[in-house]
Amino acid sequence: MTWSDVQDAVRQYNIELMHWQSKLPVELTVLQTQQQIRSADPAIELAMYYWSIRMILHRPCLCNLEGRIVNESKASRDFNQEAAVACIDAALALLRLMPDSPNIGEAYRILPWWSLLHYVCQAAAVLILELCLAAQHCPSRVGEILDGLKKAISYLRMMSPASLSAYKAWRVCRQLMADSTSRLGIDTTSVSSDMLQPPGWTAAYEASLVKALDDRKDSFFPGPLRTW
């Protein structure tokens, strides 16, 4: 596919998604606030699914395309920018559906733990990527992006004592947040980085995770911050 083909596909699927969203019953609208839908489990699940799809749909544009497309038009560059922002907005909107001060009981009333873990990690990955790109798509919203990422990481930390997957995700996201923000001159040492390993976490798991984090850091951050 050419990049123009990708843009056309994103545009068409987005039209279909907006049409679907506009036809939802009032009680299931995905654009309600957290306070309006917290007591309606089907509405919460549907809203998270909607924002998840929007992240997936616009994710191709969340990258650095500067200079990579010969003779790219202004309309194409504008589309790339708008789609990247839509991806970031979707991640933040999903996280806003969740209480700001989570407790384990309230969190697991939102969704089953495996679904919640998936959505939180998806949103965190989008926000981390934008920080790795030096917030080039939303330079004036670094604080908002960082607050959303901190919220995602707080949920992962809360879920970690009972979930090896959540613990691993928390370690990965916490490390990538520290790496990306340090290159933006942002101090995140106030975000807790210490936690007891959950039952069942073995020395082999630890060695594998440490190696993955080292390899990932070398790949993503070779010296000065890359804005690819």
pLDDT score, position 27: 79
Q: List, for residues 3-39, the tens digit of each pLDDT value.
A: 999 999 999 999 999 999 999 988 788 876 555 555 5
How many Å apart are CA 98 and CA 175, to the nearest integer?
A: 23
How many Å apart are CA 204 and CA 208, to the nearest integer?
A: 6
Domain extent listing, the chain: 3-220
Instruction: Determine how many CB atoms are found less than 10 A away from the CB of residue 112.
Output: 10
Please name the residues in contact with 17: beta carbons below 8 A apart, sequence gap of 6 or more.
Answer: 50, 53, 54, 57
Contact in structure between 86 and 141 (CB atoms under 8 Å): no
Whole-number mean pLDDT of the chain?
A: 88
pLDDT score, position 217: 58
How many Å apart are CA 52 and CA 123, to the nearest integer?
A: 8
How many Å apart are CA 132 and CA 217, to the nearest integer?
A: 11
Nearest CA to 228 among 85, 125, 88, 132? 132
Q: List, for residues 169-182, the tens digit of each pLDDT value.
A: 999 999 999 999 98
